[in-house]
Amino acid sequence: MKQRFRASIGVFVLCVGVIAVYASAAPQQTDPSVEQFWSKFKVAVQKSNKTSVASLSQFPIEMPYGVPKIRTRIQLTRRWRELFNVQANAAKCFEDAKPVIDPAAPNRFTVGCKDEAGNEVVVYGFKRGRAGWKLIFLDNINE
C-alpha cells in the first residue's frame, strides 16, 4: 500500500512538472496596448515626426552613461540624431524589432537594436504610466 501511494505521488509530481515546463515554454500573451503603442511609436520615428515622438515620451529621457538626459521636447528636437541615429539606425531597426516585455515588470518593455558592428547593444526602454506607454530611456549596454 505504501509503495502504491508513493508511486501515485511520484506520478502526480511528474505530471505537475511536465505541465510547469509546458506552461513556461508556451508563448506569452502579448499586451495589445504594447502592440498599438509600438506601431504608433515606430512609424513616428521612421517618419522623423518629432512632435509625435515627443508626445510618446516621458521627460527626462535617460541616456547612456556620460550622456546628459533629454529633459524637454525642445531638447528632443535638437538631439533627435543623438537619440535615434548615432548609436543605431533606429528607423531601420524598428522595421523588424519586436518589443520584449519584462516578465518581472509587465508595465515595462524594451526594444533592442544593433550598432554599426552588428551587435545588439542599443536598447530603448518604455514604461506604462497613467498617460499610457512612453519612451523613458536609451541605453548602450557596452558603455
Cα 72 from chain centre: 22
C-alpha cell at 56: 510618446
Q: 63-82: per-residue pLDDT in tens?
A: 999 999 999 999 999 999 99
Supply φ then ψ for residue 16, to 5 degrees.
Answer: -65, -40
Q: Could you tell me the domains of the chain?
A: 30-140 (3.10.450.50)
What DSSP letter does each residue of 42-78 carry, written as one string? HHHHHTT-HHHHHHTEEEEEE-STTS--B-SHHHHHH
pTM: 0.78
Per DSSP, which regions of 2-143 are E strands?
A: 57-62, 100-102, 105-114, 120-129, 132-140
CA distance between the termini of the chain = 63
Question: What's the mean pLDDT in 97-109?
Answer: 95
